Structure 1
Amino acid sequence: MGIFGKLFKGPEVDMEKSNANAKKMRVLFNQVVEDGDNYQLIFGYTEDVGRFNYGFVHGSKTKIGNLIVGWNADTQTIVVVPTVPNLSGCGDPTYYRRSEIHKAYRNKYPTDAFIIYPDKKGYIGINAYDWLEDESLYVYVSQESELAAFTEFFMKQFATK
């Protein structure tokens, strides 16, 4: 590979840390979801963009919400559990059953997100990537194959035409 190849490769995933966080995600998920081991898991996040306009000053502020996302192909269910980047705790699960949702699709712009409308009033946007380096905002976990499996599941069983 040579020295220049190593210099320009970019950051590498610390697999020991990633695997430890994947195990923590599983423990938290299983604590709040009945039969949690029947679900595959990925880390995802959601964004809440608040806009402000103070005369000459316009802008926005984004709040990041970390999520443990589980899915079960047999029951066609996605479960979303809120958490924090260091995985020190989690909130209550929200269930999205295919038979109960209004519509779902994958949004490519402005960010790659999985959008679920459980009804006509609200929605959740789940952003997910194979790895995000910023540990202050996101859970540190590498999940390339898991994300591919979730994407396939979502597009096949959840996305509405």
Structure 2
Amino acid sequence: MRAMAGGCFCGAKRYVAQVESVDAYLCHCRMCQRITGNVSIAFTSIRKADVRWEGTPDYLASSPIARRGFCATCGTSLTFEFPDSEWIDLTVASFDDPSSFVPRHHYAAESMHEAWIDTSTLPRKRSEDNENVVKRWMEACGKLPD
């Protein structure tokens, strides 16, 4: 097990999770799609007892059986959980370094948008190659974001 930190965009909700496995999954259910405004969301499952919060998440009862943790200040999706379970799913992208996690399966495949699964053949554009964006960042704060 290793300690991995994460949190929301604005920093108001932070956590340290004792991560036992790098296994993750993509959820394609319509609730996840609608709550994130995306075609899927990546999660990893951690025992609730292995997550320490600095700034308790805000919660939405997203269905009669589950709730989702988020930051009400910046809107970052942080968790999915069944209140009666000892497990919590943390969003992979909310970890400070999400690169360790490996997708192992798709969940709620009935709602998958197949065109978004394998995008490896699409052209790739780097942020720093967009002159308009670079100019805006440099004028605003003199540097590009991390």
> TM-score, normalising length from structure 2?
0.26
TM-score, normalised to structure 1's length? 0.24
Higher relative contact order (CA 8 A, sep 6+): 2
